[in-house]
Structure 1
Amino acid sequence: MEIVGWLLVILLFVIGMAGTVYPVLPGALAVYGAFFIYGWLISFEPFGVWFWLIQTLIVIAIIVADYLVSALGVTKFGGSKASVIGSTIGIILGPFVIPAFGIIIGPFLGAVIGELIIKTPWKPALKAGVGSVIGFFSSVVVKVVLQLVMIVVFLLWVFAF
């Protein structure tokens, strides 16, 4: 059962890391779920209150940072709330509409369309679109780093404590 447990933990870690780029996948929640799988199939013994507190705070930070960093990218490039909403919709729909490049084109087009809907001229709308792509990539970097921290903390707790 231990081998199955570790295989599922690793699978959830991979899904979680893929979720940093592909928003349809659960991301940080998959990594967090891996801890429960480990506990149920192997042992909850290594985990105490501090482990769960640290991991839960990191998950909350990832969720908050994901939205804030993306929104900051849009607003730093002159985008409004409409482009933030548009880029969010584009991040979700883009990969389905344009499978190969939708993850990049989606937020860009979403931000541009959001700005054009509120009658923003083309040039500032395009600038907001660029900001949405930069915000998306910045958000991915933040999520990758924080999820790697989650995995390292888990490994330290399991093997070092």
Structure 2
Amino acid sequence: MTALLWTVVVALVAVGIVGTVLPWLPGVPLVFGALLLAAWIDDFQRVSAFTVGVLAALTVVAVLVDLAASTLGAERVGASGRAVAGAALGTVVGAFFGLPGLLLGPFLGAVIGEYTTRSDWSRAARAGIGTWIGLLLGTLAKLALVFTMLGVFVTAYLL
């Protein structure tokens, strides 16, 4: 039974890492859930409740980064709320087209959203770039936090 649970942990971590990049999977919460399950498997002997609390705090930070990243990128260049919504929709639609869709979808969505608000291509392009950079930096920050969580867990488990 323990081997099966550890297999579930590894699978959840792998899906969580992928979900950190893909918009429709709750990546960071999946990784946290996997690490919580892993700590529970050992009855919190190797990974303490305190460590799980640290992992929970890192999860909250990652979720907040995810929520704030595109908004901050868009605000930095003066984009409208419609540009941010367009970027989110573009991310979801773009995911169906693989890596090129994930890279271009948020940009095109933000450009279209901004253009429908202000009818200015120059401003729309700036909004697209700002929103895209925000999403990219947010994704990189989430990945860094996920790997930090894994590092904290492995360190606690091995010590």
Structure 1 or 2: larger helix share?
2
Amino acid at match of 1:53: G
Gaps of 5+ in 2: none
TM-score, normalised to structure 1, is 0.87
SS in 2 for 1:20: helix
Aligned residue in 2 for 1:131? 130
| Aligned-residue CA RMSD (Å) | 1.8
Residue deviations 1:75-97 (CA, integer Å, cap 9, x gap) = 2233122211211122222212x
Matched pairs, number: 159
Aligned-partner Cα distance in 2 for 1:44–1:66 = 29
Give the aligned partner of residue 23 of structure 1: 23
CA displacement at 1:154 relative to structure 2: 1.0
3-state SS of 1:78 partner: coil
Where does 1:17-96 land on structure 2 (aligned, <5 Å)? 17-96=17-96
| Cα deviation, residue 40, structure 1 | 4.6
How big is the shift at 1:47?
3.7
State yes or no: 1:6 paired with 2:26: no
TM-score, normalised by the number of residues in structure 2: 0.88
Q: Which amino acid aligns with 2:138?
A: S
What is the rounded CA distance, in whole Å, between the counterparts of 2:42 and 2:25 in structure 1?
25
Shift of the alpha carbon at 1:121? 0.4
Range 56-65 or range 36-45, more displaced: 36-45
Could you say which residue in structure 2 is the equivalent of 1:115?
Answer: 114
CA distance in 2: counterparts of 1:55 and 1:100, whole angstroms = 29
Give the 3-state SS of the residue equivalent to 2:59 in structure 1: helix
Per-residue Cα deviation, 1:52-79 (whole angstroms, up to 9, x for no partner): 3211111110011112122222222331
1:15·1:26 contact (CA, 8 Å) conserved in 2? no
Q: Which moved more, 1:63-72 or 1:38-47?
A: 38-47
State the distance in 2 between where 1:13 and 1:153 align.
14
* Aligned-pair CA distance for 1:110: 1.3
Task: Report the identity percentage.
Answer: 32
